[in-house]
A = this chain, B = another copy of it.
């Protein structure tokens, strides 16, 4: 069956965007999507999706050989560049977060205190791992070894967010752990920290009331 009329998804455009930088093989696209934390997708999807772009004339596929084994190199077409530019000019969707660890924290009273601490610990581990990766990447750029140095200005914008986010997770988990440490084993008896609630609302209010920069 034809993919001719299939509508493009955000995933399609993410791949088209990569192709606008340079041509890539399927494997390279998969690796690149992995690094780009803003739109994570399974690599099988990354191998599949570019075919749609080719069907619509937005990309070209060229078959190459590694020994006996064929591989595909994808590159963007002028029509693809125009489609990409149109997409980039439209406002995109806001962040969507899926966070299983925090979901478990939300229902913690129906499990054990140990389970709650386990999940906070897992969040800290995730954060530390990410931040360590980020240090390595940042260090590489500082030493002039980072990939696509000509794109650094834009990369720095997004990396700043991803980095802040990774630290936020860890700092939150640290704080939550210290709060939970004082709770009884029967979590349904835990007392809320009203000062934390007040502080939270104050911070939020200060933010919405701050003069627009």
Contact = CB atoms under 8 A, between A and B. Distances in A.
Interface of A: 10, 13-14, 17, 20, 36-40, 81, 84-85, 87-112, 114-116, 118-119, 121-123, 126, 128, 131-132, 134-135, 138-139, 141-142, 150-161, 163-165, 167-172, 174-180, 183, 187-188, 190-193, 196-198, 200-201, 203-205, 207-208, 213
B39 A99 contact: yes
A183 B154 CA distance: 11
A208 to B, nearest CB: 5
Contacts of A94: 99-101, 122-123, 126, 169
Nearest to A202: B138
A183 B10 contact: no
A102 B17 contact: no
Contacts of A175: 160
30 contacts: A14-B103, A17-B110, A20-B107, A38-B98, A38-B99, A39-B103, A40-B96, A40-B98, A84-B107, A88-B107, A88-B111, A89-B115, A90-B118, A92-B101, A94-B100, A95-B123, A96-B97, A97-B98, A99-B161, A106-B158, A107-B154, A134-B204, A135-B201, A139-B201, A152-B192, A154-B187, A157-B180, A159-B200, A160-B196, A178-B213
